[in-house]
Amino acid sequence: MQFALNEDQLAVRDMARDFAADKIAPHALRWDEEKHFPVDVMREAAKLGMGGIYIRDDVGGSAMTRFDAALIFEALAMGCPTVSAFISIHNMAAWMIDSFGNEAQRKKWLPKLCTMEFLASYCLTEPGSGSDAAALRTRAVRNGDHYVLNGQKQFISGAGGGDLYVVMVRTGGEGPSGISTLVVEGDTPGIALGANERKMGWNAQPTRAVMFENARVPVANRLGEEGIGFKIAMAGLDGGRLNIAACSLGGAQAALDKALAYMKERKAFGKRLDEFQALQFRIADMATELEAARTFLWRAAAALDRKDPDATKLCAMAKRFGTDVGFEVANQALQLHGGYGYLSEYGIEKIVRDLRVHQILEGTNEIMRLIVARKMIEGSR
């Protein structure tokens, strides 16, 4: 069980792979070029259970595991890392409502999130606080049965196309204990959106700033008690880090597959590229690194499923290692294509652009090292 997938897991993976091959991969380059957000295709994925992968089934979720999710996001990313990554963010935001919301909140929002009739965005980062998330300044002041929100969130995936924003706000003093979590509906008066950012990659999903100016949000939209928002945000990120590592591996696997196909066709100095020993060694190393990262991802996902005390550390490790390996393998695949790898029509340069941001989001890989080091030092005392 630790080193092989069972029949159910294979079926889940193959279902996601087939969907990615049929519905995502043929359009990925056009979506990237046109900056098209394929909401209709994502809703088709939701019909197969991918809109609420690890959401409880009483509200329409699939009630699967984090391990299952890792298989799904890797498979979807073989079609397009950008689309897979947004579905993962949507699932993370929905999970926060499922895990920390009351029954009224769960029944109000989760059925439509699981079908992706509603899209969800995760709002933590601000212009002045990225890695230092506990320093966020967006403030929510209690006014009767509402909070009045003022502030700005930055780099919000799906902003503008989203119907719900899961927002970390400051309801108390400085530091983590002053942060709470609010679910803000997208049509709330007082919300304004920045322009769709011009990005290196991830063009098939919008990224905007979300501004709040005296936006009134019902107190009934708060997840849990005041002051536990930072805990909620960090719990969401444990799974989010696994998801983004899985997206990196899927994109990198697709790039390696493209490189292998190209090397069978391309000749140099009278031989096919795959007949050169130096290049054989390179693809062997690429495949080995991918397999090592995948094995680590599965271990971390299994640890999170069983609520292992080391789960946070393992998730950080898997995210750092998986996203670094994914980017490097994709970059090597581009190199193996030579000049053709630099052309958009081959699809390799898009994967490289898409995977680069995975080393930054869900906590930079430098912060992942910090998390791991702190956990190790704490454990040695």
**Strand 222-223 vs strand 179-185: parallel, antiparallel, or unpaired?**
antiparallel
> What token pair was written down for 334?
């581009």
Q: How far is CA 26 from CA 187, 240, 252, 353, in A?
A: 33, 26, 17, 18
CA dist 233 and 101 (Å) reads 13
Q: How far is CA 63 from CA 25, 240, 305, 345, in A?
A: 27, 17, 12, 39
Closest CA to 246 of 315, 159, 337, 342: 315
CA dist 300 and 296 (Å) reads 6
Asked if residue 38 lies in contact with residue 79, where contact means CB atoms within 8 angstroms, the answer is: no
Q: How far is CA 56 from CA 63, 94, 97, 98, 106, in A?
A: 5, 10, 11, 7, 10
How many other β-carbons are positioned within 10 Å of the β-carbon of residue 44?
16
DSSP H helices, the chain, are 7-19, 28-34, 39-47, 66-77, 81-100, 103-114, 229-265, 277-305, 311-336, 348-356, 365-379
CA dist 348 and 255 (Å) reads 6
- What contacts 257, CB < 8 A, 6 or more positions away? 78
CA dist 366 and 248 (Å) reads 17
**CA 337-343-349 angle, 5° bins:** 75
Q: Chain centroid to CA 3: how far? A: 24
Residues carrying an active site annotation? 362
